[in-house]
Amino acid sequence: MTDNQNIAKDTLKLKRVAIDTYRENVAYLHRDCAIYRAEGFQALSKIEISANGKRILAVLNVVDDHNIVTPDELGLSEQAFGQIDLESGKFARVAHAEPPGSMDAVRRKIAGGRLSQEDFDNISRDIAESRYSKMEMAAFLVASGQTGLDRDEILFLTRAMLNSGERLNWDEDLVADKHCIGGIPGNRTSMVVVPIVAAHGILIPKTSSRAITSPAGTSDTMEVLSKVKLSPDALHKIVHKVRGCIAWGGSAKLAPVDDTLISVERPLGIDSQGQLIASILSKKLAAGSTHLLIDIPVGPTAKVRHMREALQLRKLFEFVGDQMNIHLEVIITDGRQPVGRGIGPVLEARDVMQVLENNPDAPSDLRQKALRLAGRIIEFDPDVRGGHGFDIARDILDSGRALAKMNDIIETQGRQDCLCAHGSLTYDVKATNKGFVTGIDNLQIARIASIAGAPLDKGAGIDLFKKLGDPVEEGELLYRIHAEFNSDFQFSCELARTKNGYNIGAKEKIPKAYVD
Amino acid sequence: MTDNQNIAKDTLKLKRVAIDTYRENVAYLHRDCAIYRAEGFQALSKIEISANGKRILAVLNVVDDHNIVTPDELGLSEQAFGQIDLESGKFARVAHAEPPGSMDAVRRKIAGGRLSQEDFDNISRDIAESRYSKMEMAAFLVASGQTGLDRDEILFLTRAMLNSGERLNWDEDLVADKHCIGGIPGNRTSMVVVPIVAAHGILIPKTSSRAITSPAGTSDTMEVLSKVKLSPDALHKIVHKVRGCIAWGGSAKLAPVDDTLISVERPLGIDSQGQLIASILSKKLAAGSTHLLIDIPVGPTAKVRHMREALQLRKLFEFVGDQMNIHLEVIITDGRQPVGRGIGPVLEARDVMQVLENNPDAPSDLRQKALRLAGRIIEFDPDVRGGHGFDIARDILDSGRALAKMNDIIETQGRQDCLCAHGSLTYDVKATNKGFVTGIDNLQIARIASIAGAPLDKGAGIDLFKKLGDPVEEGELLYRIHAEFNSDFQFSCELARTKNGYNIGAKEKIPKAYVD
């Protein structure tokens, strides 16, 4: 309707304003601009800009400086200017933006209602078209987290997010993938699983994210060894050549609505089962996976803290996976403590390579977990008898074929040089009493490693010398902090001195694993 | 903690960037700025700026234009620059902003928990210090709207919001106020009630808001007759001189956290009982009221649609009011249709003056409702016998003393000239069949009046010629749309043609009032 009101009004000259406003379009109007005054716009209100047959939405900032925009100009931030795709000086119209129509459905959700596939499609489309402000997305996320989404709603949301973007097609019947729901530091199994599975011959184009709140994501760690930022074309060539990859997933436009929602969910620190499932499955379906193994670690400081919660999550994954026609299996794993020894990109890459090289010092928990996951994926192969996957995976690893495959992948993606030093500033955290390690706090260890500089400083992080159940003497080394910058170093040491994340106690206090 | 990290780093030169970003601080750093690169900031992340002994938070925009900022400068938007209160060229430090500590409480609320007074105090303080982003506020509002706040939590929130700002003190034992929870177009009773009550001698310093989503607020309508934007000093002088005022409440810093939350709640279109009560009571307590009358209109298109909901709301108002030590009464009124005839500032001001002038054409519903409310407020006077208030109010109105008082108030606030024309573009909406008016949709009528230009164009709006229960002939005039601008006019006519908001039906379909 604003269009009607606006057609009679004058137009403004476009100007590119060299300000990067990330995921938010910003428009700049001079305070003396005739249209600004006539339309009764308010700073920070959303306006709709029409030019070149396109319409985009932007947040309005009001300018008092002719050097930024003059009263007959419409300034656009880099992102907005790119979307309009016209030269400076061309003409554009502005009007009040309508609030997104699908907010009605969000308000129904807030009131405790149940939404339909059409509702989720509308919400997803409005988000994809940048019609939602961050606060509107927060309202949607909190509302669907709080009363919860029922399993049909999770399915609807998954489908809506999948349809919001592109979909890769690998032209094979079996395209495997794995995903861990997260929360366990050092859990770099993918970098062992992918070469084993690819060496078996199954296509496994693994794309993953960078760490946002954790000390390292698979992409951050792989980047120590090879390039991970690859164009969709390059990715296809690599995968068809070596049967697998370990790359950053951000280059392809897979379920972009998921990325947008995550950009609100993460800073808010909210997490809901429904969003988690829809997020993972829409991404994996968009990436062209036909077979998917989901890893749910359970432990007192893991994302999932009780077995009943893990089982509930598994049922939901299975329901949505079946409806979306993906072969999906869920494995519940031991999430009581970090996996491996290193936490942070360089230290984790070292652990991974030790496992692949069959180094006797390799952390056995990382090896065992990776073999178990790889075995389950190998059993997706119709020619592998149920129960034989683990042995096949072990043969591939022990024979050195996994290492050879990893080197193939690294070479094909582009080997990285000279990034491999540990942070040179080190601090040893020692036991203050004798006993056994009865607890390692995943969250506190992750926090200390993050503050030491991981993953931005590749060599920063933590190297664990004791794991659950290990006996320790007073004064014995528990872990070593590595950092590259002094201010980060000082602060992470301070944090470790306040609370080092370890419990040392009596032997009978060592917790049992919830799962084998 | 970020302070620690930052102390060793260099500082940046402050620069005022003439961009008005309204309620949001924005900082501009050049992409080549050394600190930007070292700190791993991301566009749109929040940063903390320290200078001049002050700390403020701002959203980061990244700039590629030396004319806006150079790599050794820190640009600040108008608002942010004003808060730091230093000249350009002085030095400031930047660091990552910590997420607000009270978001933990918000996450507990999302999970269905109950919050304490301390939690609400922390949330309110973090909001007052601009530590909350809009999405964090949306999370808080949706979470506390959805599982709801229990009555103690509403009390805690009221107290926290009250303590966030200043508090007026009138140095009298009886300071009366009234407030309608809203949603009924044309409901300008305050402009009749205030002169009656003030003429009786009770102090009634009425401050109100401008319309945000409705076609007129009391301030918008009063502004047709007099100035409403008055400094706190001027307000005090006026009130002590004439015993009352009808002014805009935005100049004083009363419960500023409430304003901030409303700036998120309104565009989201969400509304919760708890927020409504805390918002109204914190504002009125901050304005120094000792006695308060709350008007809750009930009707099928009012904010409150069922009597049980109105009663529930009344109990909650009474509970919080008693705990906060304000004498509070709630009156439930007929909200089936607009009050009076005019909708929009000029048309509503006409109705008000007709009532005050005892004009025989004055809308009787506005007169009756105003007398009823004024009567209840007059009974706050300990010298007035219960049940006598209405008669006293009627005497004051009929005798012309209310009109004289209104003229005093107008003169003292500063009479407004020449704003009093109706919109010159008119369109008559007529009945398409014979029968009785069996329904008037408050929401649709408000929407048509808003789109015609009210309250921005003072003369725009709707003039009603038929009310509930009136008999109508086919083709008879139901209401007239007034507008000042052609595009607004066309669009509001179009909306009225699609759905005019009136139901014409059989006599027995005329709905009964829920309340007298």
Does a structural domain hold residue B133? Answer: yes
Q: How confident is the model at residue A485 (pLDDT cuts 50, 70, 90)?
A: confident
One-letter-per-residue 3-state SS of B30-58: ECCCHHHHHHCCCCCCEEEEEECCEEEEE
Residue tagged 């500032």 (tokens): B345
Of B21, B42, B142, which has the smallest distance from its Cβ to A143's Cβ? B142
Angstroms from B143 CA to nearest CA on chain A: 7
Cα distance between residue A469 and residue A465, in whole Å: 12
**CB atoms near residue B231 (< 10 Å):** 10
Listed residues B413, B437, B455: the one ending a domain: B413
User: Can you tell me whether residue B230 is helix, strand or coil?
Assistant: coil
CATH number for the domain that contains residue B155 = 1.20.970.10
The amino acid sitting at A408 is D
Tokens of B342: 């005019």
Region B92-114: mean pLDDT is: 88
Angstroms from B100 CA to nearest CA on chain A: 10
For A173-190, the pLDDT digits (tens) are 999 999 999 889 999 999
For A315-338, the pLDDT digits (tens) are 999 999 999 999 999 999 999 999
Cα distance between residue B297 and residue B180, in whole Å: 8
For B65-94, the pLDDT digits (tens) are 999 999 999 999 988 898 888 888 888 988
A147 vs B145: CB contact, 8 Å cut-off?
A: no
The answer, yes or no, to whether residue A142 has pLDDT greater than 70, is yes
- Same-domain check for residues B75 and B220: no
- Same-domain check for residues A107 and A230: no
Whole-number Cα distances in Å, B229 to A71, B210, B235, B254: 28, 11, 9, 15
Does a structural domain hold residue B168? Answer: no
Catalytic residue flag (residue A516): no
Q: Which residue has the higher pLDDT, B453 or B410?
A: B410
Segment (H or E) for B502: strand B502-505
Q: Give which of B9, B110, B450, B488 to mutate to test A binding, by max A Cβ within 10 Å.
A: B110
Closest chain B residue to A5 measured between Cα atoms? B487
- Same-domain check for residues A396 and A433: no
The amino acid sitting at A184 is I
Chain A residue numbers with beta carbons less than 8 Å from the beta carbon of B19 are: 28, 61-65, 68
Closest chain B residue to A268 measured between Cα atoms? B136
A65 vs B19: CB contact, 8 Å cut-off?
A: yes
What pLDDT, on the 0 to 100 scale, is given for residue B7? 38
- Yes or no: say if A449 and A462 are a contact pair by the CB < 8 Å rule: yes
Cis peptide bond prior to B455, omega within 30° of 0: yes
Cα distance between residue B328 and residue A120, in whole Å: 44
Listed residues A96, A115, A137: the one ending a domain: A96
Cα distance between residue A349 and residue A191, in whole Å: 9
Q: Which domain holds residue B274?
A: 176-252+263-413
Q: How confident is the model at residue B6 (pLDDT cuts 50, 70, 90)?
A: very low
Angstroms from A20 CA to nearest CA on chain B: 5
- Same-domain check for residues B40 and B17: yes
B135 vs A264: CB contact, 8 Å cut-off?
A: yes
What DSSP string runs through B128-172? Answer: HTT-S-HHHHHHHHHHHHHS---HHHHHHHHHHHHTTSB------
- Same-domain check for residues A136 and A234: no
Listed residues B96, B130, B145: the one ending a domain: B96
What pLDDT, on the 0 to 100 scale, is given for residue B8? 37
The mean of the pLDDT values for chain B is 90
The amino acid sitting at B313 is L
Does a structural domain hold residue B169? Answer: no
With b for 16 or more beta-carbon neighbours within 10 A and e for fewer, the B51-71 pattern comes to: beeebbbbbbbbbebeebbbb
CATH number for the domain that contains residue B286 = 3.40.1030.10
CATH number for the domain that contains residue A45 = 2.40.40.20
Chain A residue numbers with beta carbons less than 8 Å from the beta carbon of B138 are: 134-136, 138-139, 142
Does a structural domain hold residue B167? Answer: no
Catalytic residue, chosen from A271, A395, A428, A470, is A271
Angstroms from B463 CA to nearest CA on chain A: 22
- Same-domain check for residues B183 and B267: yes
- Yes or no: say if B347 and B462 are a contact pair by the CB < 8 Å rule: yes
- Same-domain check for residues A430 and A397: no
Find the range with the poorest average confidence among A57-71, B35-49, B242-256, B365-379.
B35-49
Find the range with the poorest average confidence among A209-213, A503-507, B35-39.
B35-39
Cα distance between residue A38 and residue A35, in whole Å: 5
Region B258-266: mean pLDDT is: 85
pTM over 0.90: no
Among A189, A222, A223, CA closest to A293: A189
What DSSP string runs through A463-479? Answer: EE---TT-EE-TT-EEE
Cis peptide bond prior to A455, omega within 30° of 0: yes
Angstroms from B139 CA to nearest CA on chain A: 6
Chain A residue numbers with beta carbons less than 8 Å from the beta carbon of B77 are: 61
Angstroms from A185 CA to nearest CA on chain B: 21
B138 vs A139: CB contact, 8 Å cut-off?
A: yes
Chain B residue numbers with beta carbons less than 8 Å from the beta carbon of A20 are: 31, 43, 61-64
The answer, yes or no, to whether residue B3 has pLDDT greater than 90, is no
Does a structural domain hold residue B171? Answer: no
Closest chain B residue to A63 measured between Cα atoms? B19
The mean of the pLDDT values for chain A is 90
What pLDDT, on the 0 to 100 scale, is given for residue B2? 40
The amino acid sitting at B474 is E
Q: How confident is the model at residue B469 (pLDDT cuts 50, 70, 90)?
A: very high
Q: Give which of B268, B305, B450, B488 to mutate to test A binding, by max A Cβ within 10 Å.
A: B268
Does a structural domain hold residue A171? Answer: no
Q: Which residue has the higher pLDDT, A95 or B103?
A: B103
Q: How confident is the model at residue A75 (pLDDT cuts 50, 70, 90)?
A: very high
Of A6, A22, A107, which has the smallest distance from its Cβ to B44's Cβ? A22
Closest chain A residue to B43 measured between Cα atoms? A22
For B160-206, the pLDDT digits (tens) are 999 998 899 999 999 999 999 988 999 999 999 999 999 999 999 99
Q: Show Cβ contacts of residue B101 under 8 Å, excluding neighbours closer than 6 positions.
A: B122, B126
Of A17, A67, A139, which has the smallest distance from its Cβ to B268's Cβ? A139
**CB atoms near residue B499 (< 10 Å):** 11
For B488-511, the pLDDT digits (tens) are 898 899 999 999 999 999 999 998
Q: Is B257 exposed, middle or buried (0-12, 13-18, 19+ CB in 10 A)?
A: buried
Q: Give which of A1, A35, A110, A273 to mutate to test B binding, by max B Cβ within 10 Å.
A: A110
Chain B residue numbers with beta carbons less than 8 Å from the beta carbon of A99 are: 267, 269
Strand order in the sheet with A477-483: A342-343, A461-464, A477-483, A425-430
- Same-domain check for residues B112 and B88: no
Chain B residue numbers with beta carbons less than 8 Å from the beta carbon of A136 are: 138, 268
What pLDDT, on the 0 to 100 scale, is given for residue B129? 84
Q: How confident is the model at residue A3 (pLDDT cuts 50, 70, 90)?
A: very low
B147 vs A143: CB contact, 8 Å cut-off?
A: no
Of A23, A26, A146, which has the smallest distance from its Cβ to B146's Cβ? A146
For A300-316, the pLDDT digits (tens) are 999 999 999 999 999 99
Closest chain A residue to B269 measured between Cα atoms? A107
A44 vs B23: CB contact, 8 Å cut-off?
A: yes
Cα distance between residue B460 and residue B466, in whole Å: 19
- Same-domain check for residues A341 and A402: yes
Whole-number Cα distances in Å, B101 to A282, A497, B121, B127, B136: 33, 22, 12, 11, 12
Does a structural domain hold residue A514? Answer: no
- Yes or no: say if B468 and B511 are a contact pair by the CB < 8 Å rule: yes
Of B22, B43, B139, which has the smallest distance from its Cβ to A268's Cβ? B139
Q: Show Cβ contacts of residue B267 under 8 Å, excluding neighbours closer than 6 positions.
A: A99, A133, A135
What's the distance, CA B468 to chain centroid? Answer: 28
B103 vs A20: CB contact, 8 Å cut-off?
A: no
Cα distance between residue A426 and residue B334, in whole Å: 74
Angstroms from A474 CA to nearest CA on chain B: 30
A110 vs B270: CB contact, 8 Å cut-off?
A: yes
- Yes or no: say if B174 and B202 are a contact pair by the CB < 8 Å rule: yes
Q: Give which of B3, B20, B47, B263 to mutate to test A binding, by max A Cβ within 10 Å.
A: B20
Backbone angles phi, psi at A368, to 5 degrees: -65, -45
A1 vs B491: CB contact, 8 Å cut-off?
A: yes
Q: Give which of A10, A61, A64, A96 to mutate to test B binding, by max B Cβ within 10 Å.
A: A61
A142 vs B138: CB contact, 8 Å cut-off?
A: yes
User: Can you tell me whether residue B345 is helix, strand or coil?
Assistant: helix
CATH number for the domain that contains residue A449 = 3.90.1170.30
Q: Is B151 exposed, middle or buried (0-12, 13-18, 19+ CB in 10 A)?
A: middle
Give me the interface pTM, i.e. the ipTM. Answer: 0.77
Paired with B328 in beta bridges are: B292
Of A4, A133, A138, which has the smallest distance from its Cβ to B491's Cβ? A4
- Same-domain check for residues A65 and A87: yes
Angstroms from A149 CA to nearest CA on chain B: 14
Of A1, A21, A146, which has the smallest distance from its Cβ to B43's Cβ? A21
What pLDDT, on the 0 to 100 scale, is given for residue B188? 95
- Same-domain check for residues A224 and A371: yes
With b for 16 or more beta-carbon neighbours within 10 A and e for fewer, the A169-183 pattern comes to: ebeeebbbbbbbbbb
Catalytic residue, chosen from B32, B126, B177, B271, is B271
The answer, yes or no, to whether residue A504 has pLDDT greater than 90, is yes
Q: How confident is the model at residue B41 (pLDDT cuts 50, 70, 90)?
A: low
Residue A506 half-sphere exposure, CB side, CA atoms within 13 Å? 2
Does a structural domain hold residue A168? Answer: no
Q: Is A499 exposed, middle or buried (0-12, 13-18, 19+ CB in 10 A)?
A: exposed
What pLDDT, on the 0 to 100 scale, is given for residue A25? 86
B142 vs A137: CB contact, 8 Å cut-off?
A: no
The structural domain count of chain B equals 4
Cα distance between residue A125 and residue A114, in whole Å: 19
What pLDDT, on the 0 to 100 scale, is given for residue B25? 86
B110 vs A8: CB contact, 8 Å cut-off?
A: no
Cα distance between residue B187 and residue B178, in whole Å: 13
Angstroms from A257 CA to nearest CA on chain B: 17
What pLDDT, on the 0 to 100 scale, is given for residue B133? 84
The amino acid sitting at B49 is I
- Same-domain check for residues A14 and A70: yes
Closest chain A residue to B17 measured between Cα atoms? A65
